[in-house]
């Protein structure tokens, strides 16, 4: 059963379980005197007022909502508000109950810190929140200042263990997402290589037919034509029939070579489609022209790499949830339009990815246009002239 749960879900359920367990002594402090035998019994914890119960249940609701999709959705300002409420609710439980149970809840809250805050800020948040419980130990539990600080640091150590465990889970999640993205790129590259191998094999076969059979049949046709002039009677009639068959066979070879050449285009759509599979945190919507074929394998490779780089940038930098990829071939040019619904920017500073795409396209006579505005996403328009491989024919002077 545990194998079906991701480590993020395990962290979530473990935190909710700990939150529920913390509620047991709080519930006992309230029900204990009512369930007693009538004798005056000293309870471990004083009953908690209703404000503390509001804080306790508020912590559980905030934690459940905040961890509902760790690592899946992008962070929003509401998440940081929930983190503040989570911390304040845990502190409120300690202050209203006069115990260190809030420190245990802060340990639960520590598991979400790596997912929302940078490492250094997360550590500072963890230490500051645990030290904020020290006055509870001094006032309600009569701890000296030093003992109260040591108690808070002890809980901070436990929280640090939870923090590091969650940080490892975050790194594993990021590594798995990167692996999924690289696998998608690998499948796309493999599809392009398969198409290139198919084109190369068809080209090789067409050249072999052209160079071997074509020339030999041409020589045979010429010799039969000479034999037809030198022969007489029934022999000449058979020679002429053989000459006609040689010319027909030559025509068939030429048509076969032409068909092989015509079928030697690379299906770019077959290479682009795997890019949309299993991309983490990004839904890719493809609108590909049918057929989408490119004659030059090198230019097809350029287009594939540019599409891969655009998707990678969207995953890593834009915070987008959706990406739309449109590919068309018109007027001897392949046009790709890629846009996302990410953050966008008013001040564009091209990085290595965009510069590499522009250089690849420019090297083959293409161009790249970048359109972006804050909160309006990112759009790439690219165009590349596609190479046309000339059809192979037989030597001049050889007629069908």
Of 161, 178, 195, the domain-final residue: 178
Of 127, 146, 178, the domain-final residue: 178
Instruction: Tell me which residues of the chain have a pLDDT lower than 50.
Output: 1, 37-43, 388-400
Q: Say yes or no: 47 and 164 in one domain.
A: yes
pLDDT at 291: 82
Q: Say yes or no: 300 and 166 in one domain.
A: no
For 86-100, the pLDDT digits (tens) are 999 999 999 998 888
Q: Say yes or no: 30 and 153 in one domain.
A: yes
pLDDT at 296: 80
Q: Say yes or no: 156 and 59 in one domain.
A: yes
Q: Say yes or no: 167 and 23 in one domain.
A: yes
Number of domains in the chain: 2
pLDDT at 20: 94
Q: Say yes or no: 17 and 130 in one domain.
A: yes
Q: Say yes or no: 272 and 173 in one domain.
A: no
pLDDT at 34: 62
DSSP letters along 37-94, please? -SS----SSPPPPHHHHHHHHHHHHHHHHHTTTTTTSPP-HHHHHHHHHHHHHHHHHH
Residues in Cβ contact with 185 at an 8 Å cutoff, skipping those fewer than 6 apart: 275, 308, 312
pLDDT at 141: 84
Q: Say yes or no: 26 and 122 in one domain.
A: yes
314-318 long-range contacts (CB < 8 A, ≥24 apart) are 314/282, 314/340, 314/342, 314/378, 315/177, 315/181, 315/279, 315/280, 315/281, 315/282, 317/342, 318/342, 318/343, 318/344, 318/377, 318/378
pLDDT at 72: 65
Decide if 393 is inside a domain. no
pLDDT at 338: 92
For residue 267, give the nearest of 231, 291, 298 by alpha carbon.
291
Decide if 97 is inside a domain. yes
Whether the bond into 291 is cis, omega within 30 of 0: yes
Q: Say yes or no: 155 and 57 in one domain.
A: yes
pTM: 0.64
Q: Say yes or no: 297 and 154 in one domain.
A: no
Tokens of 68: 């509902």
Decide if 242 is inside a domain. no
Decide if 248 is inside a domain. no
CATH of the domain at 324: 3.30.565.10
Please give the residue range of the domain that contains residue 306: 266-385
Report the distance separating Cα 110 and Cα 41, nearest Å. 36
For 344-380, the pLDDT digits (tens) are 887 777 777 888 888 889 998 899 998 888 888 889 9
Decide if 200 is inside a domain. no
Of 125, 153, 178, the domain-final residue: 178
Decide if 339 is inside a domain. yes
Q: Say yes or no: 174 and 295 in one domain.
A: no
């Amino acid at each position: 059963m545990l194998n079906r749960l991701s480590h993020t879900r395990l962290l979530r359920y473990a935190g909710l379980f700990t939150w529920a367990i913390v509620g047991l002594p709080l519930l006992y402090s309230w029900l204990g005197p009512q369930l007693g035998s009538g004798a005056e019994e000293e309870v471990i914890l004083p009953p908690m007022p209703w404000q503390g119960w509001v804080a306790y249940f508020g912590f559980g609701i905030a934690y459940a909502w905040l961890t509902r999709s760790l690592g899946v959705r992008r962070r929003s300002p509401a998440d940081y508000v929930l983190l503040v409420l989570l911390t304040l609710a845990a502190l409120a439980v300690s202050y209203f109950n006069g115990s260190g149970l809030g420190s245990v809840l802060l340990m639960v809250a520590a598991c979400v810190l790596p997912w929302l805050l940078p490492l250094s800020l997360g550590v500072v948040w963890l230490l500051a929140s645990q030290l904020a419980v020290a006055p509870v130990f001094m006032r309600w539990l009569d701890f000296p200042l030093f003992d109260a600080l040591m108690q808070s640091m002890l809980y901070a150590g436990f929280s640090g263990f939870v923090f590091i465990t969650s940080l490892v889970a975050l790194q594993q999640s990021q590594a798995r997402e990167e692996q999924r993205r690289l696998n998608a790129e690998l499948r796309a590259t493999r599809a392009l290589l398969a198409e290139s191998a198919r084109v190369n094999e068809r080209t090789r076969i067409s050249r072999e037919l052209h160079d071997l059979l074509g020339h030999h049949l041409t020589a045979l046709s010429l010799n039969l034509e000479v034999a037809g002039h030198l022969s007489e009677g029934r022999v000449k009639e058979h020679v002429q029939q053989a000459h006609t068959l040689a010319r027909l066979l030559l025509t068939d070879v030429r048509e076969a070579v032409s068909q092989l050449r015509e079928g030697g285009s690379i299906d770019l759509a077959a290479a682009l489609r795997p890019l949309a599979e299993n991309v983490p945190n990004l839904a890719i919507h493809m609108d590909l022209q049918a057929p989408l074929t490119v004659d030059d394998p090198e230019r097809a490779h350029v287009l594939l790499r540019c599409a891969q780089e655009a998707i990678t940038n969207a995953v890593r930098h834009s915070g987008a949830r959706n990406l739309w990829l449109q590919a068309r071939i018109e007027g001897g040019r392949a046009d790709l339009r890629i846009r996302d619904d990410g953050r966008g920017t008013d001040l564009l500073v091209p990085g290595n990815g965009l510069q590499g795409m522009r250089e690849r396209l420019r090297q083959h006579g293409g161009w790249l246009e970048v359109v972006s505005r804050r909160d309006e996403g990112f759009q790439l328009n690219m165009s590349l002239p596609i190479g046309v491989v000339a059809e192979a024919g037989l030597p001049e002077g050889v007629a069908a």
